[in-house]
Each structure stands twice: as structure tokens, then as C-alpha cells.
Amino acid sequence: MDQLVSSERYSPYRLFTAERWAKFRDDTPLTLTEDEVRRLRSLNDPVDLEEVGRIYLSLSRLLSAHVEASQILFRQRQVFFDANEAVKAPFIIGIAGSVAVGKSTTARVLKELLARWPSTPKVDLVTTDGFLYPNDVLRREGLMERKGFPESYDVGAILRFLSGIKAGLPNARAPVYSHFTYDVLSGEYVTIDRPDILIFEGINVLQTRDLPADGKAVPFVSDFFDFSIYIDAPEELIHQWYVERFTRLRETAFKDPRSFFHRYSELSDNAALAIAEQLWNNINLKNLRENILPTRPRADLILRKGTNHLVQEVALRKL
């Protein structure tokens, strides 16, 4: 049974065309400018102001409603438990999907839009890249060719970080990753101090783990999410976007001799294309099929993209 087929009787999702979804924007004002959208979008991602108005304004309105509902429930629980907690735990939004599908753009655009709602002035964004094991550890464990697969992340550190966020701890620290050096930056952290919303973005954030036979609790990263989003697209389009991004990077960041991938900028076009195809087929495609795509049905909302990174359909889990 494909739960994302509109005719499927037992689907837990409501499906909307992009045009229908855009109407849910209602009177939400578009406060971003074209220059801001250009700054927020990732390399080779052509999302523009029109797409923000068509898809992301409605999404920010929906998320704002969820946040406000959780704030009301928090106050009701205070009364129920006769509690004196002064501060509600941050609302955590998880964003998952393949490499090159546009997760980072979605996360940054939503961060800016949600911060402009009166109920959520403080919105922070953290990616899972910083929780990858350092390259020295990956090399020692023979995992450099599995970088981005579930086993290449320090899941314990992710769980401790999200647990601290949910507990309302001040100044929680997340490690920082450099795509330029292709490694975690030793001793560098970003500090997250009790935001209203935390957006947590990464390819495997909806990943599950094997359940123990003895019934002991096994926390998943997604257990800490209040809402989850999966960015989806046909495999052949993601492949195309990945190769196009690789080509653009050869012309830009890879040209810097300090870049981890500088060697690729010195190859012929054909040789570089062969490398891109090899990386896609041997690493990213395998990860997509084995680990990322199987988590799609766990999302609360799925944005299904078509050509030019434009969302064509939205699937929203029924309440």
C-alpha cells in the first residue's frame, strides 16, 4: 500500500496540490524580500520569492498554529499538575530528506518566517552535520565511505543535546561542521539558549533503531520532535541536482587550495563527472534507498518536489 497515493483509502495523510496548499496562506504577509531569499537558499537551489509565497507562508502559518496550541496545552498542564514551571520547553521541528534535495534552504526560510510570528520571536537552527564523528574517528573505524550513514553520527551526543533542549537547559552547545574542510571543527560550538523553536535538520533525523528484546526504552532522535518534515523528490531529480551542485562547487569552493575537495577542481570535466557519478551511486544513492527514504512515512508533513526544486504536492498527516 502506498500511503502517498491520493486514491489510497487508508492513507494517514491528506494530500494537496501546491496550488491548493498556497490558498492556506490566508492573509499571512510576505515579509521576506527577494534579496533575503537569495541569501537563504543553497547553492544551485532556485527557490525564489514566488515559491516562498506559494508554499512556505502556508507552512509557517500551520507551524505557528501548532506552536501556539502547544503553548496553550503547556499552560493547561500547569493548572492540571498545579505546577510552577515558568518556561515552556522549545518546540522542535525536524527536517529530513536526501542530500541535494533542498533541506537547508527549507530550514533557513522557515527559520526566518517563523521568527516573524508574534508567538515565536526566537528561532534557532542546528544541523546534524556537527554531530558526525570527526574524520580521524571515521578513518580509524573504516567509515569514511559511509559518511552520512547512520553509523557515522554520534547519536548519543545528538540525544544528549536534544534532551537538554527539551529540558529547558540554558546554553546548550552543538558542535560545528565545516563543509569547506569536510570535518567537524574541533572545539567550536554554537550555543542554543532556550529558543521558542528549534529547527533540527539532517538527512537521517527520522531514523529508527533496532528495538531491544527486553522492552527497555530506546530513544530515537525523532522522539524529541514536536513536528517533522520530509523533503521529497523523484530519485532521478535528486541525482540530477546532486551532479549539478557538484559541478557548481568545482567552479567555486573547490578551487580554493584549502578545500578538502580541491583536487576535484583540477580534473577534466569528464573525469570530474565520473567522480560525481561514483559518489552518487556508491554513497548517496545507497544511503537514500537504505536509510533516508524508508523514514518518509514517519514525517508529519511531506513536501514533494518536481523540476526546478518547485513543490508540486504537500502531504499532511491527519490529526
Yes or no: say if 35 and 68 are a contact pair by the CB < 8 Å rule. Answer: no
Q: 3-class SS at 288? A: helix
* Rounded average pLDDT over 225-242: 97
Structure confidence by residue, pLDDT tens digits, 135-192: 999 999 999 999 999 999 999 999 999 999 999 999 999 999 999 999 999 999 999 9
Of residues 132, 315, 294, 143, the one with CA closest to residue 206: 294
Range of the domain at 224: 13-317
What is the chain's mean pLDDT, rounded?
93
Q: Which three cell numbers stand for residue 1?
A: 500500500
In a domain, 51, yes or no: yes
CA pair distance 119, 243, nearest whole angstrom: 40
In a domain, 3, yes or no: no
Q: Which three cell numbers stand for residue 51?
A: 515559491
In a domain, 228, yes or no: yes
In a domain, 8, yes or no: no
Q: Which three cell numbers stand for residue 272?
A: 570530474
In a domain, 306, yes or no: yes
In a domain, 219, yes or no: yes
Whether the pLDDT of residue 76 is over 70: the answer is yes
In a domain, 140, yes or no: yes
In a domain, 7, yes or no: no
Q: Give the total number of structural domains in the chain.
A: 1
Yes or no: say if 274 and 246 are a contact pair by the CB < 8 Å rule. Answer: no
The CATH number of residue 220's host domain is 3.40.50.300
What's the pLDDT band for 118 if we cut at 50, 70, 90?
A: confident
Q: Which three cell numbers stand for residue 241?
A: 541536482
End-to-end CA distance of the chain: 20
